[in-house]
């Protein structure tokens, strides 16, 4: 069995930062960043490139194959962390397949913030164009070193509200699934990043050894 941690949270919940802190505290965690894998895959795979250009969704078997390739490169005793995957009920099927095939011991963490809080934070956030890391304030990405950028669509309140409502709709069935499996930890995401980190550690200490 391989420990797999899935991080979920509304735009602006700070899950990228919390993921970094979890990795630091418990060690032996490797990121699997699905968006990045797909972007990289599209560089060499014409079929993927065409899909990306038209903005169409990647079919499940394609996503599953890309993730599987990545998993094969990770040592057996290493834990995996997914940030924001699966994104929808359709992608949940990919996760279930992988979990069965590779013997995942899953634990999902949902960092819960209100919509008002999300809107407030998004107006101040920066995003890594390479790996989707999210930060409050500019600078270099702590994960890959690229320059963080402000996203134009974070500044448009109507667009942001729409993204949040899509997130809420898409994520609910995923949270319900992990809850049903007894694999969901819900954390109050309101407060400073440090306060939220403390809440997360308090719960994860029961699952992972430092």
Please report whether residue 135 would count as binding Zn ion according to CB under 5 A: no
Q: How far is the CB of 36 from Zn ion (least distance, A)?
A: 8
Q: How far is the CB of 197 from Zn ion (least distance, A)?
A: 20
Smaller CB separation from Zn ion, 104 or 126: 126
Please report whether residue 143 would count as binding Zn ion according to CB under 5 A: yes
Stretch that binds Zn ion, among 30-38, 43-51, 123-131, 151-159 (CB under 5 A): 123-131
Please report whether residue 125 would count as binding Zn ion according to CB under 5 A: no
**At which residue do the structure tokens 């999902």 appear?**
108
From 131, 134, 174, 200, residue interacting with Zn ion (rule: CB under 5 A): 131
Listing DSSP states for 45-113 in one string gives -HHHHHHHHHTPPPPHHHHHHHHHHHHHTS-TT-EEEEES-S-SHHHHHHHHHHHHHHTEEEEEEEEE-
Q: Decide if 207 contacts 105 (C-beta within 8 A).
A: no
Please report whether residue 144 would count as binding Zn ion according to CB under 5 A: yes
From 71, 108, 118, 141, residue interacting with Zn ion (rule: CB under 5 A): 141
| DSSP count for the chain of H helices, then E strands | 8, 7
């Amino acid at each position: 069995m391989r420990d797999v941690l899935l991080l979920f949270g509304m735009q602006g919940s700070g899950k990228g930062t919390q993921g970094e802190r979890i990795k630091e505290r418990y060690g032996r965690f490797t990121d699997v960043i699905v968006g990045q894998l797909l972007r990289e895959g599209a560089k060499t795979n014409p079929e993927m490139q065409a899909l990306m250009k038209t903005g169409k969704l990647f079919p499940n078997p394609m996503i599953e194959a890309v993730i599987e390739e990545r998993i094969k490169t990770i040592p057996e005793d290493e834990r995996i962390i997914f940030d924001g995957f699966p994104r929808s009920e359709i992608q949940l099927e990919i996760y279930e397949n992988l979990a069965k095939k590779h013997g995942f011991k899953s634990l999902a963490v949902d960092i819960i913030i209100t919509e008002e809080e999300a809107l407030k934070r998004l107006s101040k956030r920066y995003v890594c164009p390479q790996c989707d890391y999210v930060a409050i304030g500019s600078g270099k990405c702590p994960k890959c070193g690229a320059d963080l950028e402000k996203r134009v669509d974070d500044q448009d309140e109507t667009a942001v509200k729409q993204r949040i409502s899509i997130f809420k709709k898409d994520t609910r069935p995923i949270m319900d699934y992990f809850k049903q499996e007894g694999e969901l930890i819900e954390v109050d995401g309101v407060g400073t990043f440090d306060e939220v980190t403390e809440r997360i550690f308090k719960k994860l200490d029961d699952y992972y050894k430092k």
